[in-house]
């Protein structure tokens, strides 16, 4: 056990976790720091981030640093990269792209009053039950695609020179969702339009331009009020397409950087603010997949999607 931790300290020296002031991100920092990595806990709000880092310091984890990071803000990403360069780090071994948001306006009391069974929720069968308490506006959809897709892309590319300097090959973990799955294991397709589903699933012909064209089409359809008519997912549409495209980006990025282990993970249905505390899993359980992928041994999988700690179909 001690031997393993010592190895982790040297192999997985430095980590960054986005959106880590609370929820799964906070717990991911805790577990990585407990395993011996030096972790930069980041948060878009300075006060909330400092408080979160202080909580970990008080629990004995002095190997946690704080830096402000709003993944939508290029200047903030640049400032984090400078912070890492100018400290003793020189390189970055782990990046956990955890920050995320749902992209809908919600009547939280109304949603809780419906007391929807988690199984029904996860199977996508609650879609008609929630239409009166959730609203997808153009502004919210745009903002959350900026966070869930472009935020991950811009942060990963902003930190790329540091990730490329990792001696053991960096680990990049993109926290996705089962709402981003393309395979039809539920009654409702996550991407009902078959042509679009095939395009996003065909890694040999996929490009970033294609992914981003699909995102632009989605936003146009939100603006026109044509979500269902044009074959987009009715259940959490902006969130779903942002995670579908995040998975696609993960595969492309993994193919481009074979020296790294780049994967995406559904953390499970976890009790956090993101789902208005409807999830049954604890954050400790929810962080396990991210932590496992962040600490993968050399020769581990890359370009894969995991459902918690198990490899699954895209």
Ligand X SMILES: NC(=O)c1ccc[n+]([C@@H]2O[C@H](COP(=O)([O-])OP(=O)(O)OC[C@H]3O[C@@H](n4cnc5c(N)ncnc54)[C@H](OP(=O)(O)O)[C@@H]3O)[C@@H](O)[C@H]2O)c1
**Distance of alpha carbon 196 from the chain centroid:** 22
Neighbours of 50 (CB within 10 A): 15
Which of 36/100 has CB closer to ligand X? 100
Is 239 noted as a catalytic residue in this protein? yes
Task: State how far the Cα of 162 lies from the Cα of 159, in Å rounded to an integer.
Answer: 5
Which of 36/232 has CB closer to ligand X? 232
CB of 43 to ligand X, least distance (A): 6
Length, in residues, of the chain: 314
∠ CA 130-131-134 to the nearest 5 degrees?
A: 80
Structural contact between residues 270 and 279, judged by C-beta atoms closer than 8 angstroms: yes
Which of 132/273 has CB closer to ligand X? 273
For the chain, report the end-to-end CA distance as a whole number of angstroms. 34
CB of 97 to ligand X, least distance (A): 8
Binding site for ligand X (CB under 6 A): 18-19, 21-25, 43-45, 48, 69-72, 98-101, 147, 151, 175, 177, 266-267, 269-270, 272-275, 279
Kindly name the residue from 14, 239, 249, 305 that is annotated as catalytic. 239
Which of 120/167 has CB closer to ligand X? 120
CB of 73 to ligand X, least distance (A): 8
Own/partner contacts of 7-12, CB < 8 Å, gap of 24 or more, are 8/35, 8/36, 8/37, 8/295, 9/36, 9/37, 11/93, 11/168, 12/36, 12/37, 12/93, 12/94, 12/168, 12/171, 12/294, 12/295
Which of 19/158 has CB closer to ligand X? 19
Which of 11/152 has CB closer to ligand X? 152
CB of 215 to ligand X, least distance (A): 16
CB of 210 to ligand X, least distance (A): 23
Residue whose tokens read 């679009």: 196
Give the contacts of 6 (CB within 8 A, at least 6 positions apart).
36
Tally of CA atoms within 13 A in the half-sphere of 227 that contains its CB:
19
CB of 88 to ligand X, least distance (A): 25
Closest by CA to 285, choosing from 269, 302, 306, is 269
Number of H helices, E strands in the chain: 13, 10
Q: Which residues are identified as catalytic? A: 239
């Amino acid at each position: 056990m001690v031997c393993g931790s010592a190895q982790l300290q040297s192999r997985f020296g430095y980590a960054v976790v986005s959106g880590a002031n609370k929820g799964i991100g906070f717990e991911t920092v805790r577990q990585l720091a407990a395993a011996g990595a030096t972790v930069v806990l980041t948060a878009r709000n300075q006060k909330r981030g400092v408080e979160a880092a202080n909580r970990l310091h008080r629990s004995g984890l002095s190997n946690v640093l704080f830096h402000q990071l709003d993944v939508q803000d290029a200047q903030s990403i640049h400032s984090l990269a400078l912070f890492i360069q100018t400290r003793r780090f020189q390189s970055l071994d782990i990046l956990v792209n955890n920050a995320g948001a749902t992209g809908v306006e919600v009547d939280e009391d109304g949603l809780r009053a419906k007391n929807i069974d988690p199984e029904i929720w996860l199977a996508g069968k609650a879609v008609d039950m929630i239409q009166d308490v959730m609203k997808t506006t153009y502004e919210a959809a745009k903002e959350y695609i900026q966070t869930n897709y472009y935020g991950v892309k811009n942060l990963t590319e902003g930190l790329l020179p540091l990730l490329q300097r990792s001696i053991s090959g960096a680990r990049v973990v993109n926290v996705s969702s089962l709402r981003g799955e393309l395979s039809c294991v539920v009654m409702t397709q996550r991407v009902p339009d078959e042509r679009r589903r095939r395009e996003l699933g065909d890694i040999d012909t996929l490009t970033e331009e294609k992914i981003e064209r699909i995102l632009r089409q989605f936003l146009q359809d939100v603006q026109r009020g044509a979500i269902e008519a044009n074959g987009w997912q009715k259940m959490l549409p902006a969130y779903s397409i942002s995670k579908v495209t995040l998975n696609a980006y993960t595969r492309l990025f993994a193919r481009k950087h074979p020296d790294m282990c780049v994967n995406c993970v559904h953390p499970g249905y976890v009790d956090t603010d993101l789902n208005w505390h409807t999830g049954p899993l604890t954050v400790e359980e929810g962080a396990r997949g991210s932590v496992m992928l962040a600490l993968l041994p050399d020769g581990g999988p890359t370009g894969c999607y995991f459902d918690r700690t198990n490899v699954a179909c895209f």
